[in-house]
A and B are shown apart, each in its own frame.
Chain A
Amino acid sequence: MQPAAKSSFAERAATATPEPLARAVRGLSDRAIAWLFISPTMALLLAINIFPLIWTIRLSFTNYRANRPNAEVVGVGIDHFADILTDPDVWASMQATAHFVFWTILLQTLLGFALAWFVDRRFRGHGFWTTAILIPMMLSPAVVGNFWAFLYQPQIGLFNYVVSFFTGLDPSSFEMIGSVKLAPWAIVLVDTWMWTPYVMLICLAGLRSIPDYIYEAAEVDRASKWRQFWTITLPMALPFIMLAVLFRGIENFKMFDLVNLLTNGGPGSTTEVASITLKREAFEKWRTGYSSAFAIILFVTVFGLANIYVKALNRVKSR
């Protein structure tokens, strides 16, 4: 029945194709038809990805400013790249980014894996808890940023109140997003709250992909639970964990929305991560050439690190 239905559909499609088009297509090779189908996507990709990239590279060697459309555009060679790489303020923002990326990834991986392991126990009500844990990552970062900015408010914020309830500190005696010492941790905390469920989800997929018979064989060999974890669970889930780290690493390296809403890079420049610096250069100072160079440096950094990481990931997977 099925082949007949297929053939009748094909026949109908053939009949419906206008004769001139059918004649033109009939003369094309399979390769040409394949190109015909992918060419709109290729054109779109070129227009919205490749062309802007090439244009950005070109601009990075000029003094172009988007707010001065009538000004003469002059080539400046590699001046912007040299300025960026020798600017202490840029390095400070890279340090802020590194702090943010390192701690969010560490905490999210540990907590995400622990939660996945916990949910994988399939206890009563685990479905409900899985859904509940996933809620933060379903929210818009704009909502999360504003919401946590209120929670962190020292006079009326719930966060300070909870801390004061457990520690006896005066709620208005500390400021999470206004303090140089606490602000970097405030943004780490919010990102961890929001994205740990995502890491959990990937780790859970890893844990569920481990066949039960391996554990059964380990049981037969009287391997302890601890040994099973280190010799079966962790190595087999490792490619998934590494994938989660890769995704979160890339995302957090270019983190903008949460930081912008929570601290806007402050106090001072304490939490000014690279993307905030980039935004200031590009859309507040209007140094388009300079910010293009900065964007390329960031792109190359992420791309390079991600490539090295993917190679490591492939090595782990092939073990």
Chain B
Amino acid sequence: MRKIYGGTGALVAAAMFAAANPAFAQSKTITLCWAAWDPANALVELSKDFTAKSGVQMKFEFVPWPNFADRMLNELNSKGKLCDLMIGDSQWIGGSAENGHYVKLNDFFDKNGIKMSDFAPATVYAYSTWPKGSPNYWALPAMGDANGWVYRKDWFAKPELQAEFKKKHNRDLAAPKTWKELKEVAEFFQGRTIDGKKVYGAAIFTERGSEGITMGATSALYSWGFKYDDPKKPYSMEGFVNSKDAAEGLEFYKALYKCCTPPGYTNAYMQEGLDAFKSGQVAMMMNWFAFFPGLYKDEKVGGERIGFFVNPGQKVEASTLGGQGISVVSYSPNKDAALQYIKWFAQPDIQKKWWALGGYSCHKSVLGDPGFAKTAPFAADFLKAMNGVQDFWQEPAYAQLLQAMQKRLHDYVVADKGTAKEALDALIKDWQKVFKEEGKLK
């Protein structure tokens, strides 16, 4: 019996010592959940500074993109305690705020002098606010991103190709400025033999399961003036989603898919695009800016062999928004340490380091730096893209809305079902049904 008392006493003493001694704080660990991709590796590197300064150890749970939403939304819905910090997709913000998954950060920001006005307005709007545009913040803008393009500058520079292209199109073979120019370039390369290898025009998003084809097709749709609803009458979609221009944009995306993608490119997203580009199969690739630092550094295909360009305009200049904000999960038992991380991450010097390591800072001190555009070959395009980003619905029912769009777009673009107008009309019906269930439409 005395032994038991003795043991308990030792445990209590150890616990008291741990509480009093900061060195013991090192045993505190928080877990950050995000997608498994290049910027996540940069964040691991960056976070070493947080551990050094705070003594809080960092654990990371990175899930590949195709399973990211399923895995993490399951975690949130089941009130799991795996993640203390979540870098969740921008579309999750409505659901996560309304269902109580994320901690509201307004008071914390006020208390710690973190100002949302220090971040690019488009990123605050997209990554942090719910209801949209209101001063209710559920995340700190963490990773700015948009859909952009990368091309084989070395192929474009070949004199014989330059001459042939100029003869055919009466302009230089260069990074396209409109979608129609992009298609001409893609057609020019499609099936051509370069360095003894058959190559193709462009790698674009066609993936069916998660969000791929929606993210790809909206890059064209936005440029044709597609809108989700009437700006004056929310949720009124007739004439906006299925406008003549929107149908034309969708027809164009299908034409690009049909003419200029590699064989078997029916279910391709980020990774398939990277594989096609890195293996020298395609002249151009649509992908998120987040991958560009890694591509530029790639010894085999990177450096001066490649160039970057912002999503081409057609009727308007626009890009599909990617990127995420960082939130504190309300089920976390380590909320204080998680908030401490956000406070650390919001500092301008950490944001500068974040950009230097390959993450895309949304902080004005980074983006507004006069020298920013020259810090990387894709930096200027990133700034341009972020000025015209548009995002998918961020409603709590976003998953249902997204799945409907995935189905209608894939049915039309890949499976040749119906016309563009019919696909968009059917999409409106799907979305109206969702909004009626949500009580947002009568």
Q: Which residues of A contact B (CB under 8 A)?
A: 63, 66-71, 89, 153-155, 172-173, 175, 177-178, 180, 263-270, 280, 283-287
Contact = CB atoms under 8 A, between A and B. Distances in A.
Contact of B414 (A70, A173, A266, A284): A266
Contacts of A280: 403
Interface string B409-440: 01110111100000000000000000001000
A14 B207 CA distance: 67
Nearest to B401: A285
A106 B98 CA distance: 51
B262 A266 contact: no
Given A67-B99, A180-B416, A267 B399 contact: no
Contacts of A265: 208-209
Nearest to B265: A178
A286 B100 CA distance: 16
B414 A178 contact: yes
Interface of B: 70, 73-74, 76-77, 79, 95, 98-100, 208-209, 262-267, 396, 399-400, 403, 407, 410-412, 414-417, 437
Given A267-B414, A284-B70, A154 B79 contact: no
B96 to A, nearest CB: 10
Contacts of A68: 95, 98-99, 396
B264 A268 contact: no
B264 A283 contact: no
A284 B95 contact: no
Contacts of B400: 285-287
A67 B400 CA distance: 12
B99 A177 contact: no
16 contacts: A67-B76, A67-B77, A69-B79, A71-B99, A153-B264, A175-B264, A177-B267, A266-B266, A266-B267, A266-B414, A267-B266, A267-B415, A268-B410, A268-B412, A270-B415, A286-B399
A278 to B, nearest CB: 13
A170 B73 CA distance: 44
Contacts of A175: 263-264, 266
Nearest to A176: B264
B109 to A, nearest CB: 24
B314 to A, nearest CB: 25
A154 B263 contact: yes
B99 A264 contact: no
A154 B262 CA distance: 10
A269 B410 CA distance: 8
B410 A267 contact: yes
B403 A268 contact: no
Nearest to A260: B209
B83 to A, nearest CB: 16
Contacts of B415: 180, 266-270
Given A67-B73, A154-B264, A268-B411, 7 more contacts: A69-B99, A153-B264, A178-B414, A263-B267, A266-B208, A266-B415, A268-B412
A224 to B, nearest CB: 51
Contacts of A264: 208-209, 267
A76 B95 CA distance: 22
A266 B396 contact: no
Nearest to A270: B415
Please list the 7 inter-chain residue pairs (A to B) with the smallest Cβ-Cβ separation, ordered nearest first: A268-B415, A178-B266, A268-B411, A154-B264, A172-B263, A285-B400, A154-B263
B283 to A, nearest CB: 16
A153 B264 CA distance: 7
Contacts of B267: 177-178, 263-264, 266-267
Contact of A269 (B263, B411, B416): B411
A266 B410 contact: yes
A66 B73 CA distance: 10
Nearest to B434: A285
A286 B77 contact: yes
A67 B395 CA distance: 13
Nearest to B99: A68
Contacts of A67: 73, 76-77, 95, 99, 399
A260 to B, nearest CB: 9
Nearest to A67: B77
Given A153-B264, A268-B411, A70 B100 contact: yes
B208 A267 contact: yes
Nearest to A177: B266
A70 B133 CA distance: 24
Max chain A Cβ within 10 angstroms of own Cβ: one of B79, B209, B266, B267? B266
Contact of B399 (A173, A269, A285): A285
Contact of B264 (A63, A178, A180): A178
B264 A66 contact: no
Contacts of A269: 407, 410-411, 415
Contacts of B100: 70
Contacts of B416: 180
Nearest to A283: B70
Contacts of A286: 73, 77, 399-400
